[in-house]
Amino acid sequence: MRWGRVQLENGEESAAVLVDDERVIALRAVNQRLGYRFPLDLDAIIRCGAVVDIAEALNDAARQRRLSEPLASFQVLSPLKAPERIVGIGLNYRQHAEDLGAALPSEPATFLKPLNTLIGPGDSIRLPAAAQLVTAEAELALVFGRSAKNVSPDEWRAVIFGAVPVLDMTAEDILKQNPRFLTRAKGFDTFFSSGPWIVTLDELPDLSTLIIRTIVNQQVRAEDAVGGMVYGIDQLVAWVTRGVSVGPTAVLSTGTPGAWPIQAGDQVTAAIDGLGRLTNPVVDDAGSEGG
């Protein structure tokens, strides 16, 4: 299934399921018309384990047709409103490292993105006045479906709810001043976009064949298959849970095949075969402070 979050005509928000490329079932309609009391927040649905019950309730084609509405009727939001954490992985594609002339890390290089960075499809990436060179990176992200700690590589699927396209932004000039500035360089408002839909793993039997593309103004600037990672998905899940308790809705962004500089007026897309396309416009942040 493909899970997400939408804004209704009255301004309220609801968890939702994409039933085909053009129709959506909002959970608010399911509750109102069928008498269920499912949570309307996807974060809560994942945390309380209601995913299976909702899937069973919608496991009827005729019922899906009655409940679904045109996708164009909704504004699609970031699937998760407040993930438990956002973990990023740096320099995790061999080709990207070679292009940069950088040595491959001896272990997965992790960092955290604060929640103020989170935006959804169509939201503007705002370039801060404090940065002169910002890059965008398309990535495959995993969403944890339950609490996990010390997960073995061969059990990673048991703790992952699904996968979603993301865009990770970096203020490269700030990072180049000092590698210890990574949190600031990665942590500006709007510097992490996610969506439009989280695709559950039952629809993704082999993630290694998926192609990830960083696209700027409709031109592919970088692309590679997930199989081109230095550390595979199984290793990454094991690494980030090693001695660390990771909760449901946590997002693990698995690295990029390539970054590209962006400027105001650009359109940036993360395109992943089988998952869809996430697009955001780029604007100057008039309200940001310099320094």
- In a domain, residue 290? The reply is no
The domain total for the chain is: 2
Residues 96 and 238 in one domain: yes
Q: Is residue 156 situated within a structural domain?
A: yes
Are residue 104 and residue 203 in the same domain, yes or no?
Answer: yes
Chosen domain end from 59, 77, 95:
77
- The answer to whether residues 116 and 217 belong to one domain is yes
Strand partners, 190: none
pLDDT at 7 over 90: yes
**Is 283 exposed, middle or buried, given 0-12, 13-18 or 19+ CB atoms closer than 10 A?**
middle
- Cα–Cα distance, 85 to 236 (Å, whole number): 15
Q: Residue 264 pLDDT more than 50?
A: yes
Domain boundary, last residue among 54, 77, 100: 77
Higher-confidence residue: 130 or 21?
A: 130
Question: Do 26 and 134 share a structural domain?
Answer: no
Answer yes or no: is 279 within a domain. Answer: yes
Beta-bridge partner residues of 267: 281
Residues 58 and 106 reside in one and the same domain: no
For residue 97, the model assigns a pLDDT of 47
- Regarding whether 117 and 238 lie in a shared domain, the answer is yes
The pTM of the whole model exceeds 0.85: yes
In the chain, what percentage of residues exceed pLDDT 90? 87
Q: Is residue 291 part of a domain?
A: no
Poorest-pLDDT segment among 223-232, 244-253, 281-290: 281-290
Q: Is 244 helix (H, G, I), strand (E, B) or coil?
A: coil
Domain boundary among the residues 77, 105, 126 is at: 77
Regarding whether 143 and 70 lie in a shared domain, the answer is no
pLDDT tens track for 159-203: 999 999 999 999 999 999 998 999 999 999 999 999 999 999 999
Say if residue 201 is in the same domain as residue 98: yes
Verify that 161 and 66 share a domain, yes or no: no
Q: Are residues 246 and 184 in the same domain?
A: yes
289, part of any domain = no
Task: Taking residues 123-132, report their average pLDDT.
Answer: 97
- pLDDT per position as a tens digit, 23-80: 999 999 999 999 999 999 999 999 999 999 999 999 888 899 999 999 999 999 999 9
Tokens of 37: 């009391």
For the chain, the average pLDDT equals 93
Cα 233–Cα 186–Cα 162 angle in degrees, nearest 5: 30
Residues 53 and 93 in one domain: no
150/258 same-domain check: yes
Which CATH number characterizes residue 139's domain?
3.90.850.10
Structural domain containing residue 46: 2-77
